[in-house]
Amino acid sequence: MQGFAEGRFAPVAAVFEKSIADGGAALSVTVDGETVVDLWGGWADAAGARPWQADTILNVYSCTKTMTALTALLLADRGELDVAAPVRRYWPEFAAGGKGEVTVAHLLSHSAGLSGWAEPVTVEDLYDWEKATALLAAQAPFWVPGTASGYHVVTQGYLVGEVVRRVTGRTVGAVFRSEIAGPLGADFHIGLPAAEDARVAEMIPPATAVTMFAEPTPLQVNASTNPVIDVAVTGSRAWRAAEIPAGNGTGNARSLAQALALLVTEREAVARRALEVQVDGRDLILGLPLRFGLGFAVGNGMMPNPNTLYWGGLGGSLVLVDLDARTTFAYTPNKMADTLSDVRGLELAMAMWEAMALI
């Protein structure tokens, strides 16, 4: 383990050290925008030949969604995007299939009824932005938009990303880079240049197959198998180079906590807007009770402080924005758990809140 944890956060470092026993990871915590924990350690590969370095980065899967949402929310804060407006205002073709009244807020809250593609798609199709977005624009929603959430596992990035593209004329990765990552010096990429490949940690799949759903519904089957995305594909140049804004962001805990700290230090009004619950109930894909705000789940009732935004990624990555404690938290491991109930990130978050005397 390397890095630092300010004195009161020593217990967090102890929990983190245990978490890297069979893989590698990074952990970062900010308070009022200042970094108070910045730790990394373990191995960046399955063979244990590459030590995790301070600048190691990795595929953070669905934590990418928080960076995509942050990009859209900053555009909204500047008045360039109205999240309450119908998507067709920015993307006229999207009105097909009875989606004329679907709003940008529906996209951000996973309640647009577009949790997957109706047509069969391949992993290669995910690299084709025009095809992926055109198919979504043409299809009808799987349920009445706004009535329930159904986690838009891969599709959300294309949906929100295309709105960003229509508004700005640039891809979401380009906007994120110029408006957020660049000014902050945050080492996070939606579309990774080949020159950075040597720093990327290998994602280590579970030792045993993990059953996603015991008795999957048709919606769950569609979301989890169309297409099937093997862990190994995350190591390919094609995957890393593409913009898949719901799941192929490459960065580390430091960069995620850094970017999200904007919501605490400079853009608290954006965070307060994101906290507005859009849909509340059992998610049709994940099968869990969830409260979605704009681009994040809302932790009211689940976490020590009610004004907490959060989301996680396959493989164990977790991010939190606790507005009450003025804190951001990010954990990014490369060893994927053998169970869906991966609590490593939550254990670290609980240790953080304990250190802050909040629980």
DSSP codes joined into one string, 75-95: HHHTTS--TTSBGGGT-GGGG
Give me the domains of the chain, ranges plus CATH numbers.
2-355 (3.40.710.10)
* Confidence at residue 359, expressed as pLDDT on a 0 to 100 scale: 59
Confidence of residue 158 (pLDDT cuts 50, 70, 90): very high
The residue among 152, 137, 146 whose CA lies nearest residue 111 is 146
Share above pLDDT 90 across residues of the chain, in percent, rounded to a whole number: 92
Instruction: Please tell me the predicted confidence (pLDDT) of residue 214.
Output: 78
What pTM was estimated for this model as a whole?
0.97
Give the pLDDT mean for 320-342.
91
What proportion of the chain, given as a percentage, has pLDDT over 70?
Answer: 98
- Residue 300 clears pLDDT 80, i.e. is over it: no
Which pLDDT score is estimated for 303?
Answer: 87
Q: 279-282 and 58-59 as β-strands: parallel, antiparallel, unpaired?
A: unpaired
pLDDT at 144: 98
Query: What pLDDT does residue 229 have?
Result: 95
In the sheet with 24-31, reading across from the earlier edge strand, the strands are 2-5, 34-42, 24-31, 327-333, 318-322, 308-312, 297-298, 289-292, 279-282
Which residues are the active-site residues?
Answer: 62
Please give the Cα distance from 82 to 111 (Å, whole number). 17
* Arithmetic mean of pLDDT over the chain: 95
> Over 80: is that where the pLDDT of 81 sits?
yes
Q: Picking from 27-41, 66-80, 197-211, which range would have the lowest pLDDT averaged per residue?
A: 197-211
pLDDT for 213: 77
The string of pLDDT tens digits covering residues 89-124 is 999 999 999 999 999 999 999 999 999 999 999 999
Given a cut of 90, whether residue 221 has pLDDT beyond it is yes
Cα dihedral angle (251, 197, 231, 28), rounded to 10 degrees? -20
pLDDT digits (tens, 9 = 90+) for 35-48: 999 999 999 999 99
* pLDDT computed for residue 342 by the predictor: 84
CA dist 80 → 23, 220, 337 (Å):
43, 35, 40
Using DSSP bridges, classify how beta strands 289-292 and 318-322 pair: parallel, antiparallel or unpaired.
Answer: unpaired
Confidence band of 220 (pLDDT split at 50, 70, 90): very high
Region 309-326: what's the mean pLDDT? 95
Query: Residue 22 pLDDT > 90, yes or no?
Result: no
The stretch 218-235 carries a mean pLDDT of 96
